Amino acid sequence: MSTAIINGHQASTDDYTKHVFGAYDSTRAEQVEDESKTCGKILIVLSWIVVVLTMPFSLMVCFKVVQEYERAVIFRLGRLLSGGAKGPGIFFILPCIDAYARVDLRTRTYDIPPQEVLTKDSVTVSVDAVVYYRVSNATVSIANVENAHHSTRLLAQTTLRNIMGQRPLHEILSERESISQHMKALLDEATDSWGINVERVEIKDVRLPVQLQRAMAAEAEASREARAKVIAAEGEQKASRALREASEVIGDSPAALQLRYLQTLTKISHGKSSTILFPVPLNMMSLFMGRTKEKE
Ligand SMILES: *[C@@H]1O[C@H](CO)[C@@H](O)[C@H](O)[C@H]1NC(C)=O
């Protein structure tokens, strides 16, 4: 500001300050970078000196071990150490200036608690699922997200709700496999930037409200009953047709009726021994039959 007034160019003050401060900013940033680098180097050297001076004891602090399934992400003075995550086995850290985080690479199971979801056709169902996931890139899972596991779990819950909300009930009940696949793809894509790999999603249970269960059961029962009635009616139709054919055959020859009569008699005599049979000659029957015919 003072320079501008001295030069007498009041109008260009703003441009001037912008220009000056812009240049100042970039040079200042470079300076800070350089300073922190040299400062860091000094600290690293100091740390090495401390390690060497306190030799046998410092080794206890400097060597760390991670298990076969773990990795260590090391930060030196706040910066990620180049070369990615260390491990498995022994790795080396400098006291005071290194910080490290252990990351477990094993597959984890998350049991999504039952979610009350409104389906596309406005039915409330309770759905639960299991998600299997693991850390695929330890560095990214520490550096990009505050808590990769918690984030993945929350995302799994909301994804489950979203997917169920987009589908009608009959699809949810019949297409679990494809819904699981779809959900896995969505989750995997979203968690990529957190270094998480979703291996599997399984929909465990879809619970319907009790009233709807009753209604569906009643519907199924009614349809079964209707089918049973149709089958019975068809059977009766066939039976009556067969009876008519039989009566025509019998009516063609009187001897056939006589034989049938005798057959019936033998059948009855095979049954209860206490039944008393009194055979009536068929001619008497024909008397009645003749009478009915006359009436007609
Ligand atoms: C993890 O991600 C970082 C950054 O994207 C990458 O440089 C590194 O190679 C990855 N490590 C593995 C094991 O994939």
- 82 & 119 share domain: no
257 falls in which pLDDT band (50, 70, 90)?
confident
- Does residue 53 lie in a domain region? yes
Burial class (CB in 10 A: 0-12, 13-18, 19+), 125: buried
- pTM for the full predicted model: 0.66
- 100 & 112 share domain: no
Q: How far is the CA of 87 from the centre of ligand 1 (A)?
A: 14
- 54 & 69 share domain: yes
CA-nearest residue, atom 9 of ligand 1: 84
More confident residue, 83 or 141: 141
- Does residue 148 lie in a domain region? yes
More confident residue, 277 or 127: 127
CA-nearest residue, atom 7 of ligand 1: 84
pLDDT of residue 16: 52
- Decide: helix, strand or coil at residue 123: coil
65 falls in which pLDDT band (50, 70, 90)?
very high
- Does residue 144 lie in a domain region? yes
- 79 & 116 share domain: no
Sign of CA dihedral 211, 217, 222, 225: negative
- 176 & 272 share domain: no
Q: Which of 70, 105, 137, 196 to mutate to test the pocket of ligand 1 (most atoms within 8 A of CB)?
A: 137
Q: What is the CATH number of the domain that holds 161?
A: 3.30.479.30
Summarised one tens digit per residue, pLDDT across range 193-243 is 999 999 999 999 999 989 888 998 999 999 999 999 999 999 999 999 999
- 77 & 162 share domain: no
Residue 2 has pLDDT above 50, yes or no: no
290 falls in which pLDDT band (50, 70, 90)?
low
Burial class (CB in 10 A: 0-12, 13-18, 19+), 93: buried
Mean predicted confidence (pLDDT) in 148-162: 95
**What are the contacts of 212-218 at 24+ separation with CB within 8 A?**
212/123
Q: Which of 71, 135, 139 to mutate to test the pocket of ligand 1 (most atoms within 8 A of CB)?
A: 139
CA-nearest residue, atom 10 of ligand 1: 137
- 12 & 95 share domain: yes
Q: Whole-number mean pLDDT of the chain?
A: 85
Q: How far is the CA of 131 from the centre of ligand 1 (A)?
A: 24
Q: How far is the CA of 85 from the centre of ligand 1 (A)?
A: 9
pLDDT of residue 24: 59
Provide the β-strand partners of residue 206: 127
Residue 284 has pLDDT above 60, yes or no: yes
Q: How far is the CA of 45 from the centre of ligand 1 (A)?
A: 29
- Does residue 91 lie in a domain region? yes
Domain boundary among 66, 82, 106: 106
- Does residue 231 lie in a domain region? yes
- φ/ψ of 71, rounded to 5, equals -135, 155
Cβ within 8 Å of residue 143, ≥6 positions away: 73, 80
Residue 276 has pLDDT above 90, yes or no: no
Domain boundary among 56, 81, 106: 106
The domain in which residue 294 lies consists of 253-296
d(C-alpha 52, C-alpha 46), whole Å:
10
CB 183 within 8 A of CB 204: no
- 42 & 27 share domain: yes
- 228 & 203 share domain: no
- Does residue 232 lie in a domain region? yes
Summarised one tens digit per residue, pLDDT across range 107-139 is 999 999 999 999 999 999 999 999 999 999 999
**Number of structural domains found in the chain:** 4
- Does residue 220 lie in a domain region? yes
pLDDT of residue 61: 87
- 149 & 202 share domain: yes
- 223 & 183 share domain: no
Q: How far is the CA of 233 from the centre of ligand 1 (A)?
A: 73
- 180 & 143 share domain: yes
pLDDT of residue 260: 82
Ligand 1 environment, Cβ below 6 A: 84, 137, 139-140
- Does residue 248 lie in a domain region? no
Domain boundary among 106, 133, 165: 106
> What percentage of residues in the chain have a pLDDT greater than 90?
55
More confident residue, 61 or 156: 156
d(C-alpha 166, C-alpha 191), whole Å:
21
Strand order in the sheet with 196-207: 108-118, 124-135, 196-207
